Amino acid sequence: MNTIRRHDLSPRVEMLPLIDVVFLLLTFFIYSIIMMVKAQVLPVQLSDVPSGQVATETVSHAITIDGYGKVFFNREPIQEAALQEKLTQLVDDPTKPMLFIAMEAAGQVDRGPILLDLIEQVRIAGIKKFTIVGAPAPGRAPGSVPGS
C-alpha cells in the first residue's frame, strides 16, 4: 500500500498582484481627474494675467487667436461667418457652456484689433459670460486672489 505524503505548508497570501492592481487603479483615477476639466484652447504661449480665477465649469468652448492672427474654435480653424453661427448656437444651447477666449502672448501681427472685434462679435451674439484666458502671473499661485 502506498502512503500519501502530506506537506504541512500553510496557504500563502501573495501581496504583489494586489499592489499591482492598487497602483493601476490609482493611475487610472489620477488621469481621469486631470482630464475632467479641459478647455479646448490651442496650445499657445499665453500672456500673464495678474487678476483672475481658476475655471470651475466643465462644459466649455474656446476661441483662440494664434500668433499670426488666425482664429480657432475648439482647436479648429474657423472663418468669421462660421464663428457667428457657432456663437449663435452657444446662446441657444440649454447647458449654457462657458466660453474661453485666449490669445498667444507673442505674435507676428497686431492681434489687438482682432481680439476687440472678436469680443464685439461675442457680445453681439448675446453671450454675456465669457472668460479671457491667460497664464498665471509669475510668483502667484493659480486661483489666488490678487492683493491677498
pLDDT tens per residue across span 70-100: 888 888 888 888 888 888 888 888 777 788 8
Architecture, CATH, for domain 48-136: 2-Layer Sandwich (3.30)
In this structure, what is the dihedral angle of CA atoms 125, 41, 144, 97, given to the nearest 10 degrees? 40
pLDDT recorded at residue 21 = 94
Neighbouring C-beta atoms of residue 90, cutoff 10 Å: 20
pLDDT interval class at 27 (50, 70, 90): very high
Domain definitions of the chain by residue range: 48-136
